[in-house]
Amino acid sequence: MPRGDLFPDIAPYETGLLPLSGGHVMYWEQVGNPRGQPVLFLHGGPGAGAGAVHRRFFDPAHWRVVIFDQRGSGRSRPLGELAHNTTPHLVEDIETLRRFLGIEEWLLFGGSWGSTLALAYAQAHPERTQGCVLRGVFLGRRQEVEWFLCGMRRVFPDAWAQFAEHLPPDERHDLLGGYLRRLTDPDPQVHFPAARAWSQYEGLCSTLMPSPETVASFAQDRSALGLARIEAHYFAHDLFLPPEGLLGRMQRIAHLPAEIVQGRYDMVCPAESAFELAASWPRARLTVVPDAGHSALEPGVRLALVAAVERFRRRP
């Protein structure tokens, strides 16, 4: 897939491993201009991890880009660990990283679950947040989880059938419970196939047009395990969000500017949530990409995200 509308490939100028609470260790990296305007990239999932392509949404001459893998994800350790792994833990991890790097405040950039975590962090620490660039909005509500588990069959019945048929017929009434039992089974012969089935389902539903490249990236064993196990864990606990939900706390960040980019045909995180978020955020600008699904790497979404970040450049 040509990605000439992103900035060129770039290597980090600094990487590290940061000890966290509960025995977790965070992988982090910095890219771009060490004296630039700070921006924090928050990956999706939960559990997906970050990749090299995510560095390319930001002009390296201007931005000091901070990227990290959340607890249990990607290059952080231990992979797929669920103990001491909740949204409040992740919010505190971001603060730990911010203090460690000596950053006063930063722009938040997150898509899908990354948008959820960005909102949770911004609401907890508005004084540290310059604004938000969000994509494929997920508010962590029960109806959004149920849409992922069952509702997407209305559009992707074939993908959903593969997903459901990984479980025996007598367990298909509770897909989340059946998958969570397998994903947390210590036997790799049990948890890896379940992780592949879960992750392939998400990959198949993530783009407007079929993308074998996307599905293949979701299906790799190590990335699939972190994604599927941690997603199921978070889904089973209502994403560890407060009872009033993220929309119930919007007054805390009403003063902050935001850019929201949403694919019109996003089936993983349908556009309804982005519209509800924009309606509750006075300083939010909503861009609907008319020919895109969920993936950040679809052409129209890439263009809209780069443009949104550029609008956040600090004025002299």
Q: Of these residues, 166, 223, 294, 295, which one is catalytic?
A: 294
Global confidence as pTM:
0.96
**pLDDT computed for residue 4 by the predictor:** 58
The answer to whether the CB of 250 falls within 8 A of the CB of 280 is: yes
**Per-residue confidence band for 2, with pLDDT thresholds at 50, 70 and 90:** very low
**Per-residue confidence band for 216, with pLDDT thresholds at 50, 70 and 90:** confident
Helix (H, G, I), strand (E, B) or coil at 200: helix
Q: Of these residues, 112, 211, 273, 295, which one is catalytic?
A: 112
- Residue 315: pLDDT above 90? no
Sign of the Cα torsion 5, 7, 9, 14 reads negative
**Per-residue confidence band for 316, with pLDDT thresholds at 50, 70 and 90:** very low
The answer to whether the CB of 230 falls within 8 A of the CB of 314 is: no
**pLDDT computed for residue 215 by the predictor:** 78
Q: Taking all residues of the chain, what is their mean pLDDT, rounded to a whole number?
A: 95
Q: Is 266 assigned a catalytic role? A: yes
Burial profile 104-138: b = 16 or more Cβ within 10 angstroms, e = fewer: eebbbbbbbbbbbbbbbbbbbbeebbbbbbbbbbb
**pLDDT computed for residue 221 by the predictor:** 66
**Region 124-138: what's the mean pLDDT?**
98
Could you tell me which of 111, 69, 110, 122 has the C-alpha nearest to residue 230?
Answer: 69
**Region 82-107: what's the mean pLDDT?**
98
Q: Of these residues, 199, 266, 273, 295, which one is catalytic?
A: 266
Q: Is 112 assigned a catalytic role? A: yes
pLDDT digits (tens, 9 = 90+) for 11-52: 999 999 999 999 999 999 999 999 999 999 999 999 999 999
Domain residues of the chain, as ranges?
14-141+240-310, 143-237
Tokens of 200: 């392939």
**pLDDT computed for residue 213 by the predictor:** 83
The answer to whether the CB of 186 falls within 8 A of the CB of 245 is: no
Q: Is 294 assigned a catalytic role? A: yes
pLDDT digits (tens, 9 = 90+) for 164-192: 999 999 999 999 999 999 999 999 999 99
**pLDDT computed for residue 19 by the predictor:** 98
* CATH class of residue range 14-141+240-310: alpha beta
